[in-house]
Structure 1
């Protein structure tokens, strides 16, 4: 039974879902990093919010860990490269608090437009400063979205309901999607010039850090109001303060800061500045939603292999996983075979699919091939870290999908480039379930790839099989299955034998000494 640790406070429904799905769960919160390191090795999964820091040191101690689930969007508290290298899937729940965060942005927009926090303080202080708080309408104003993804699109929809015009800057926003959202796609400079209100809905990356820099804030329309419920670090906070004090910026509302918790900040007390303590996801509904989603996603992965909202491997639905499982087994065996047989440094690898295999999600198949290939060099490699390790080693990976159907209804071919030339193997599924090798280095040969095996290249000549059988028999090695292929009569032949015991180096030397043998290698699957 898989075992999960919930290390941050989370809605009780998360633990209920784990247990209902057959996953053992412990709820242990508030642990120090050292205390977490001491226990993390017991768990297959780690469910967190923002308090737990999944650092490289924690991951090194997590000897059984397979998945980290972040109940929320941001994964700044997870060392994703270290997790990838360790073979740990990292998931988040990007949609569980989308509506909540979008509504908070709209709420802050209203707060700025009507100066609600200042008016509340003034009124409760016994003043009646009706003429002091002159607001602006949202109707007819232009809202500039920086980031038009899931949350940005919800904000756009709500703003259009308020009769605002919406312009959006997002490098990944297609013209078709912009039309569907009812927004105008513009450049960042155009947005800065035109927007009466600007909201940010983008992750913090090297490209987006300080996207509202001092230079860009100077380009904005005088009287602009700025809202950030996304990530601290998107705005130059010192430049924002200067803009507020000069009157160029009419108002700013931040739910996030470059350094949190922001218990002291130069912006505090600045006129027309509104702040909240990272409340974007803080509603009852959002807390329940993200807890449910992270538990469902992690349980799917641990129980059935489904991968949803992963940040370091392709998604694979729980319904899709059973169909792909035999293909991934085939792909891993082919990768292992070519990895064991190919000599010298690998330059590149091509994974080709045709027939029924070409209709499937290719990323898991590619990951399985790479896992099999790289396992020759590492016993900790899996589908998650194999692409990472391949990239780290400079291996050029190509994915090819063919519409044609050849001799088999489905086939996967793996070709590696080496200093000695290309080496190619191909396999299919028998009965849509059983992986079977059908081609080895250009020679047709049908074989199961399982357990210890012996691979031999020899001259096709009478008497060889008898001599080989005698040699193995005298060494006490029993042959399980025997698979033979050849290019032509009297030419080069290939033998693949499954044996009951691992072939020793001494026995391999005897086999290599037999007349006609060109190559003899022990394989393991």
Structure 2
């Protein structure tokens, strides 16, 4: 069997290169190749693996040219430079190293906070010019101030811990943070509006998803108390940068510290040169320790995959052996879709995820199935979650995960039942495999058979005459084409459910019209 071959196309430590070689992987170290798109395109077909940082863009064209590629490893957490759908379609595993730079990024956020409230960069520049302007740089203590942490996961919890050590009051907004985990961290869990109204300093530590994009919108920035500060070392796009400038100019906000921007690299920006803004060029993970950690981790993960078939920290592949894969594949898809269904309907703090396996599926390797279900639940809020790190992320937030088995399954050969418990309610959904494809068979105790579709509308309503016609008319008038229409109810005149597959995504405008219909109690657009 020929030795697998890896291309390292970005700067990676010599230790990582040696790890490849020590584990039986041939490696070409070309740290500047990633910037030469044409040359990379011409040589990528020779390699089984591609190790990158952020300079290399693993586009669909590169992936198509990589006829022998089996794995792409990103030394770091962000994978914006990798076309994951294209890699998945080509059967290429995409790995990252989500925990190697957590301490470094958290420390950078704390450093930015101190620099911001004490005007350290501005004071340094002034002093270098010989101005000695003591009175111009009156600062603010962080002692006793309230720090609002948006996103209290791996990095956010480290920031919270450091802030507690600085004797700050720490409040946190995170839909997946339980009260128990908040108590453990020494923070107060609050909703977003409360955080905005109380925080003296706001720091962001959430991934960029459809739900978190512009989480500090113009309206939300305006809700901050006068004189508040904003720190963003997470992702560009979380803050409305134009609105931020306006509120800084108006004097409503005292300052902002930004390590990330909506468009990067940011060589020009309206906030550059602003006297109340500190900016750094995405340095959150830029320490020698972090760079070494993520480089070593990606080398170990890729080498293990190429030589032994072991999969870890993969964003698009379950951790299963070659022998298990054919039997597990359809159930992994079912578990993830059930989780996605429940996760897209979850808006309050998640406390528990329970998965029950009945029938033939109960005899399989359940770890990747449960991990897939958990990943599905978390993915709507945490885009970078995958089936490998999902259980860890859930535990970090104090979410309990349990699985039970039953040898028999009523009516079906196999059933997976998912139950999630939040601070306000319990939700259940069950599914099976029919004709090789995942299907829903029960929602909230209501029997229903429905296939999953890329775009769906979920409604709950009072079982009253005329609802189906009103819903169909509303969708029709909006130009929404219905593919399938599935219904279920608890009993005559009781609660009813509709699950509608449509050809295109449901717009917010259409969704509001559906919610306004008589008897509708809930309406949510779903995507799978």
Relative to 1, partners in 2 of residues 1:253 and 1:245: Cα closer, same or farther, differing over 3 Å?
A: same
Indicate the residue corresponding to 1:79 in structure 2: 83
Indicate the residue corresponding to 1:20 in structure 2: 22
- Distance in 2, matches of 1:275 and 1:156, equals 22
Q: CA deviation at 1:330?
A: 6.3
- Distance in 2, matches of 1:175 and 1:83, equals 39
Which residue, out of 91, 104, 107, partners 2:108? 104
Question: 1:352–1:402: 8 Å Cα contact kept in structure 2?
Answer: no
- Distance in 1, matches of 2:330 and 2:205, equals 44
Q: CA deviation at 1:29?
A: 3.2
Which residue, out of 126, 136, 142, partners 1:138? 142
- Distance in 2, matches of 1:332 and 1:209, equals 32
Q: CA deviation at 1:328?
A: 3.9
Indicate the residue corresponding to 1:402 in structure 2: 405
Question: 2:414–2:433: 8 Å Cα contact kept in structure 1?
Answer: no
Quick check: 1:154 aligned with 2:161? no
Which residue, out of 426, 434, 449, partners 1:417? 434
- Distance in 1, matches of 2:242 and 2:255, equals 14
Q: Deviations over 1:438-461 (max 9, x none)?
A: xxxxxxxxxxxxxxxxxxxxxxxx
Larger CA Rg, structure 1 vs 2: 1
- Distance in 1, matches of 2:331 and 2:258, equals 53
Q: CA deviation at 1:57?
A: 1.0
Question: 1:144–1:191: 8 Å Cα contact kept in structure 2?
Answer: yes
- Distance in 1, matches of 2:307 and 2:102, equals 27
- Distance in 1, matches of 2:211 and 2:331, equals 39
Quick check: 1:174 aligned with 2:191? no
Question: 2:9–2:32: 8 Å Cα contact kept in structure 1?
Answer: yes
Q: CA deviation at 1:50?
A: 0.4
Q: Secondary structure at the match of 1:199?
A: strand
Which residue, out of 346, 349, 352, partners 2:360? 352
Question: 2:359–2:406: 8 Å Cα contact kept in structure 1?
Answer: no
Q: CA deviation at 1:41?
A: 1.4
Q: CA deviation at 1:182?
A: 1.7
Question: 1:331–1:365: 8 Å Cα contact kept in structure 2?
Answer: no
Which residue, out of 67, 91, 98, partners 1:94? 98
Q: Deviations over 1:377-429 (max 9, x none)?
A: xxxxxxx9xxxxxxxxxxxxxxx9734499xxxx999986359xx9xxxxxxx
Question: 1:122–1:129: 8 Å Cα contact kept in structure 2?
Answer: yes
Indicate the residue corresponding to 2:202 in structure 1: 198
RMSD: 3.1
Indicate the residue corresponding to 2:245 in structure 1: 241
- Distance in 2, matches of 1:333 and 1:244, equals 52
Which residue, out of 66, 71, 83, partners 2:70? 66
Q: TM-score, normalised by structure 1?
A: 0.64
- Distance in 2, matches of 1:27 and 1:294, equals 14
Q: CA deviation at 1:96?
A: 0.8
Question: 2:12–2:31: 8 Å Cα contact kept in structure 1?
Answer: no
- Distance in 2, matches of 1:176 and 1:73, equals 27
Alignment of 1:273-312 (within 5 A): 273-312=277-316
Q: Secondary structure at the match of 2:13?
A: coil
Alignment of 1:329-368 (within 5 A): 352-355=360-363, 357=364, 360-362=367-369
- Distance in 2, matches of 1:270 and 1:20, equals 50
Q: Secondary structure at the match of 2:273?
A: coil
Q: Deviations over 1:90-145 (max 9, x none)?
A: 11111111111100100010001111111111212112222221111111111111
Q: Secondary structure at the match of 2:261?
A: coil
- Distance in 2, matches of 1:363 and 1:42, equals 37
Q: Secondary structure at the match of 2:360?
A: strand
Indicate the residue corresponding to 2:13 in structure 1: 11
- Distance in 2, matches of 1:67 and 1:288, equals 20
Q: CA deviation at 1:162?
A: 0.2
Relative to 1, partners in 2 of residues 1:140 and 1:77: Cα closer, same or farther, differing over 3 Å?
A: same
Q: Deviations over 1:447-477 (max 9, x none)?
A: xxxxxxxxxxxxxxxxxxxxxxxxxxxxxxx
Return 5+ residue gaps in structure 1 as ranges: 336-349, 367-383, 385-399, 423-525
Count of matched residue pairs: 363
Moved more, 243-252 or 122-131: 122-131
Q: CA deviation at 1:175?
A: 2.3
Q: Secondary structure at the match of 1:308?
A: coil
Relative to 1, partners in 2 of residues 1:401 and 1:34: Cα closer, same or farther, differing over 3 Å?
A: farther
Q: TM-score, normalised by structure 2?
A: 0.64
Question: 1:147–1:168: 8 Å Cα contact kept in structure 2?
Answer: yes
Relative to 1, partners in 2 of residues 1:219 and 1:331: Cα closer, same or farther, differing over 3 Å?
A: closer
Relative to 1, partners in 2 of residues 1:358 and 1:290: Cα closer, same or farther, differing over 3 Å?
A: closer
Question: 2:331–2:369: 8 Å Cα contact kept in structure 1?
Answer: no
